[in-house]
Amino acid sequence: MRLGFIGLGHMGFPMARRLLGAGHTVAVYDTREEAVNAAVALGAQPASAPREVADAADTVLASLPSGQACLEVVTGTQGVAHGTRIKRFVDLSTVGSEASRAVHQALHERGIAALDSPVSGGVAGADNGTLTLMVSGAQAEFDALKDLFDILGRAIYVGAKPGSAQTMKLLNNLVAATTLAVTAEAVVMGVKAGLDPRVMIDVLNAGSGGTHASRDKFPRSVLPRTFDYGFATGLMVKDVRLYLEEAARLEAVGVIAAAVAEQWETTLREEGADSDFTAVIKPIEAAAGVIVDGR
Ligand code: NAD
């Protein structure tokens, strides 16, 4: 299978590296030349536009930062929809179901299959091939790509309806955004009461309050105060906003999602879009006048 990969960022680059490592031919494109050069150093073939990737590959994957970027990569004048070889497009980005349906529609009109396949598991999962991939689109296309998905992690078929996997990913990320924010809030309170941050995380993980936030994100990036988990605050806010948009369309907005969104908007304002999302704790610490230091 001749592959293409567009968007070689925190997630895309390690995924492309795994596909190359498994022996696939991979044509790559990113707006950042240095990212393309780094992939070429690993054996990828460089392309100068998405269309060129789709001229070289039958299966094109993408990991992009927004729905707007995806639409541009697919339908732009140099988009993959104009490629001569492409048969299917696999979108690994989190863009929401509306953007995903627009991508499906644009490609369908040109006889190209589309699978939306957002991922969970972070940079470590992309590195190790332990991502969870949520996939929607034609079942036959999903089946045809099983070996490919196995290189990246575990793929779960969500349904045939375009965009369903995006809805699944957004609700997953709302839960992740909530547990990280509420763990930060609770641990800040504990520090103010005189508790040791490392002891609190140990107890949460041994008890009923443990989540991925306390098991992985806190020990790795918050307690050592490295704030380098690998997911930008701007992307987390994008996902929470997309969740709220989908929930509003469905008339299913609840008070918890709204409160969580407010905390993330504060993080965006105070820490900036490029900060790591584990910095969500910093405005909470500032408001309480304490630091959660587990070094
Ligand atoms: P990133 O910003 O690190 O990478 C995005 C890449 O896309 C960059 O290299 C950028 O130069 C490139 N790009 C932007 N516009 C482009 C265009 N028009 N054409 C070609 N390349 C373009 O982002 P990331 O953290 O790798 O996330 C990518 C996607 O995966 C996002 O949708 C994000 O929400 C999702 N995601 C990220 C994580 C994570 O932990 N980082 C986890 C799960 C899902």
Of 30, 70, 123, 175, the one to substitute when testing ligand 1's pocket (max ligand atoms within 8 A of C-beta) is 30
Whole-number Å distance between alpha carbons of 36 and 233: 24
Q: Are 27 and 59 in contact (CB under 8 A)?
A: no
Closest C-alpha to ligand 1, atom 12: 7
- Residue 154: the pLDDT is 98
Task: Enter the tokens of residue 139.
Answer: 């079942």
Q: Where are the domains of the chain?
A: 2-160, 167-288
DSSP class per residue in 169-199? HHHHHHHHHHHHHHHHHHHHHHHHTT--HHH
Task: Enter the tokens of residue 97.
Answer: 């179901």
Closest C-alpha to ligand 1, atom 34: 94
* Contact 279 CB / ligand 1 (< 6 Å): no
C-alpha dihedral sign at 214, 217, 219, 222: negative
The label of the residue with tokens 């990569």 reads 73
* Contact 166 CB / ligand 1 (< 6 Å): no
Q: Are 153 and 130 in contact (CB under 8 A)?
A: yes
Closest C-alpha to ligand 1, atom 29: 93
Whole-number Å distance between alpha carbons of 211 and 81: 41
Residue 282 annotated to the active site: no
Q: What is the CATH number of domain 167-288?
A: 1.10.1040.10
- Residue 22: the pLDDT is 97
Q: Which atom of ligand 1 is nearest to the CA of 229?
A: 40
Task: Enter the tokens of residue 256.
Answer: 């918890």
Q: Which atom of ligand 1 is nearest to the CA of 29?
A: 20
Burial (Cβ within 10 Å: 0-12, 13-18, ≥19) of residue 258 = exposed
Cα(10) to centroid of ligand 1, in Å?
7
- Residue 1: the pLDDT is 81
Bridge partners (DSSP) of residue 26 are: 3
Overall average pLDDT of the 27-46 stretch: 98
* Contact 235 CB / ligand 1 (< 6 Å): yes
Q: Which atom of ligand 1 is nearest to the CA of 118?
A: 44
User: The domain 2-160 is classified under which CATH number: 3.30.230.10, 3.40.50.2020, 3.40.50.720, 3.30.930.10?
Assistant: 3.40.50.720
Of 92, 235, 242, 278, the one to substitute when testing ligand 1's pocket (max ligand atoms within 8 A of C-beta) is 235
Tell me the per-residue pLDDT of 79-118, one tens digit each, with 9 for 90 and over: 999 999 999 999 999 999 999 999 999 999 999 999 999 9
Total Cβ atoms within 10 A of residue 172: 17
Tell me the per-residue pLDDT of 149-183, one tens digit each, with 9 for 90 and over: 999 999 999 999 999 999 999 999 999 999 999 99
